[in-house]
Structure 1
Amino acid sequence: MNRICLCLPTNRACAATITAIHQEAAYAAGRFGADVQLLILDSSDDRTRAAHARAVAALPPTDHVIVHHFDEYAQRVFLHRTIERAGLPDPGRLLRLMLPPAVSYGACTNRAFLLATALGCASLHRRDSDSAYQLHAGRPVFPVHHELPHLGRPAAEAAAAVTRTDLAPALLHHPVSLAGASFIGELSVDIAEMRRLDPGVHHDVVSLWAPGHWPEERKRDLVEESFTGAGSAPFTGDHSTLTVVDPMRVDMCNIAFDRAVYERVPLPPATDTIGSDYFLLHLVHDAGLPGILHNRHIENFHTPERRTDTGFSAYQRRFVKFLLSMLYFHDVYDRMAAEGDRLLDDHRQVRAGRIVEFLRASTGLDRAENVWRLDRVDTAYRKLGGRYAVFAGRLAGERAQLLDQAASDIEDYAHLAEAWPALVRAAAAPGHGDGRP
């Protein structure tokens, strides 16, 4: 029986999502005969977590579905034990990178990766708490429908089942490493208000996530498709493509990875940085690993907290940190693209050491481009006025700190990536396989 990890990381109220994802787990078990480890990583406050516990307790018993609801204390115990088993130097730093005190999209998924390994899972399927399943003919549209049959299997087997194949014949004997789709509904990054207030400012700001040397036409194309997902058209029927998946076509709220990917390289553990969990999409693409791109898109929505003054400021800072991180990641992406399938060893496994080398090489980049980015953000936000101008004023006092953080984030990532193989081995060690603290 194929054991999988269906994962929901959350730091907000989402009892309805817990109920819905359990239905997807039941679908995976009933339709495909999977052994589903439903993993809820809960970083919410005590009251919200208690409501989640009640939602978990109310879930109907389901054959071949086991629910794990871990608060941060349980996660910390598991991580402490794993890091101790790995015997790595500076265990305190590793624990902070795996479970930081601030929001980290990459770190929460890294914890899921290690727990999936401890649970003996062959793949990890991630969903988000601020999204929901579409309905078609009154039934939920579960992405696992396209994820489960093919992950880890030779691409040639998937070719007979998908709607379309767009894959070089030489890649057909390689395993499917990723399956994913996108979302419909609100923008994945909460900047729709900016676009309504001033489309020109929206263009100026969003284009800052492109490399500085790109021509304007290419930047315009990037802005046009950025954070829009699959648009707004609802699901009407299945369509799937066997291909090397473009990272712009999938979203981390609707993704599944084979263990051969996430057990080799983790995600960036940067805190307070949106988009810090997308690195593996680029790695799979640049290494030329086959994937399934399907159309069971998830509905995206924004929680009201982001619209409060406190939530607005916190979210905009995460967005700015994302823009600054691009100085380093574009350099790494360029190196990975140039390396191509040389990123893989003779067993079609990612050469994790090469990724560490690329990350370390990027840490010495000149920060001038990021100074320019901060200048552009300051001008744009002051032009918008209101709370954007207030935020720009606050940002001006944090410039040096933000530049330092962007650089240290990539150094931390290199450190974690170097330690990752030992952490994975420790998580998979005998006696550690139930995933429990």
Structure 2
Amino acid sequence: MHAICLTLPTNRACATTISAIAAEAAHAAGHFDVEVHLLILDSSDPATLSEHRQAVAALPATPHVVVHHLDESEQRAFLRAVVARADAPKPDLLLDLMLPDRVSYGACTNRAFLIAAALGCRSMHRRDSDSAYQTLDGTPVFPIHHELMSLGRPAREASAGVSQTILDPALAAEPVVLVGSSFVGELSVDIGEIRRLDPEVYYDVVGLWAPPGWSDERKRELVDESFTGAGTAPFVADHSLLTVVDPMRVDMCNVAFDHAVYERVPLPPATDTIGSDYFLLHLIHDAALPGVLHNRNIVNFYTAERRTDPGFAAYQTRLTKFFLSMLYFEFIYDRMAAAGDTLLDDERHVRPSVIAELARESTRADRTDNIDRLRSLDRSYRRLGGRYAEFADTLATRGPRLLDEVQEDIEDFALLIETWDSLVRASRTTSLHEPHG
């Protein structure tokens, strides 16, 4: 029996999701020889945190399922102990990168990676609080079933448990390091209103994450594919594919990683930036490491908070920073793709130093394209009018600072990569629940 970590990061009310993910944990423990550490990383307000504590307390005891519900003070105590034990440079900055005071999709997953290491887990399985499971004949179809069928096994062994294999036979001895799927339901990015208001503006906005040199036709193909997941078709039967997984086919609410990857390279800890947690999907693809793509898609939905004026402004800021971050990620992704399996060392492990250097190189990119992106967003939002025009006014003031922030985010990422090994090793010898001085 080995340990796995099924994690749910949240900053919103999600008692129903907590119950549902506990059922997934029970399924895993009941069908596989694993001990499941169900990890809830809670950054909610005090009232919501209290609701979640009650939901956790009401969960039925399940053999081989251990529940860890950590608020931010508990997470911070653990991280402070890890950073101190790692004896890494800039400890205060590292602690801020691991637990910033703003939303960070990468940082919350990085915390799960370190806690998984502390718990001795061999894999980390991530879900989101604004999602639910599909059902078949009234029974939930849990992604973890596919994940545990393949993750960590040599590809030649994993091939017996999938529907189809299109993996290069030369990779047959390589372990499966990624298993994932997508979502059905609402767009993963909350921009459906823009498409309804003005389809052409929608194409202009979403097209901003394409490299500027792309043709209009290629940009439109990207826009048509972007943020739609697996559409709306309901689950009817299992299908799984052993392959080098296309990052565009996986959502971070429905993914599992083997420790051999996430203990080598973290996710970008960028704040207020959607998409910052997708980096490992690209790294695994470009290094041609085996994965499994399945079709147990999770149901995506929006919470009420996004519909409020503050929620709207916050989300549009995250979207803007995503577009601006692509200046740097395009550079990194292009060079990772060119590097191929030279991203790996002689033992076929990812080489963190190479990724860190690419990140640092990217920060020297000319900002002209990002200045153009801000101008394009300004035009698009003013054309939409209403609260979009109001956000354009905010963007006009904050734009120059956002240009600096996205570059600083990449610099922070490089630093975190360089210190990640020491943080992982320190985590392995740091107790999660004992008091930390």
The TM-score by the shorter chain falls in which range? over 0.9
How far did 1:436 drift?
Answer: 7.5
Secondary structure of the structure 1 residue equivalent to 2:370: helix
Gaps of 5+ in 1: none
2:20 partner letter: A
2:336 partner letter: M
Matches within 5 A, 1:370-409: 370-409=370-409
**Conserved in 2, the CA contact under 8 Å of 1:118 and 1:435?**
no
- CA deviations over 1:64-84 (Å, ceiling 9, x no partner): 000000000000000000000
Distance in 2, matches of 1:267 and 1:16, equals 28
Matches within 5 A, 1:115-264: 115-264=115-264
Matches within 5 A, 1:245-394: 245-394=245-394
- CA deviations over 1:26-76 (Å, ceiling 9, x no partner): 000001121000000000000000000000000000000000000000000
- CA deviations over 1:270-312 (Å, ceiling 9, x no partner): 1000111000000000000000000000000000110111111
**Conserved in 2, the CA contact under 8 Å of 1:119 and 1:434?**
no
- CA deviations over 1:77-132 (Å, ceiling 9, x no partner): 00000000000111000000000000000000000000000000000000000000
2:356 partner letter: V
What residue in structure 2 maps to residue 77 of structure 1?
Answer: 77
- CA deviations over 1:124-167 (Å, ceiling 9, x no partner): 00000000001111101100010002111100001112100011
1:92 partner letter: D
- CA deviations over 1:226-246 (Å, ceiling 9, x no partner): 000000000001000000000
**Conserved in 2, the CA contact under 8 Å of 1:114 and 1:424?**
yes
Scaled by the length of structure 1, the TM-score of the pair is 0.99
1:11 partner letter: N
Secondary structure of the structure 2 residue equivalent to 1:187: coil
2:399 partner letter: R
Distance in 2, matches of 1:52 and 1:161, equals 36
Matches within 5 A, 1:17-32: 17-32=17-32
2:326 partner letter: M
Aligned pairs, number: 436
Distance in 2, matches of 1:216 and 1:159, equals 39
How far did 1:433 drift?
Answer: 6.7
Large movers: runs of 4+ above 4 Å: 433-437
Secondary structure of the structure 2 residue equivalent to 1:257: strand
Secondary structure of the structure 2 residue equivalent to 1:128: coil
Gaps of 5+ in 2: none
How far did 1:25 drift?
Answer: 0.3
What residue in structure 2 maps to residue 432 of structure 1?
Answer: 431
**Conserved in 2, the CA contact under 8 Å of 1:332 and 1:358?**
yes
**Conserved in 2, the CA contact under 8 Å of 1:119 and 1:435?**
no
RMSD: 1.0
**Conserved in 2, the CA contact under 8 Å of 1:82 and 1:426?**
yes
Scaled by the length of structure 2, the TM-score of the pair is 0.99
Distance in 1, matches of 2:341 and 2:214, equals 25
Secondary structure of the structure 2 residue equivalent to 1:184: strand
**Conserved in 2, the CA contact under 8 Å of 1:177 and 1:290?**
yes
1:160 partner letter: A
Sequence identity, in percent? 66
Secondary structure of the structure 2 residue equivalent to 1:148: helix
**Conserved in 2, the CA contact under 8 Å of 1:120 and 1:433?**
no
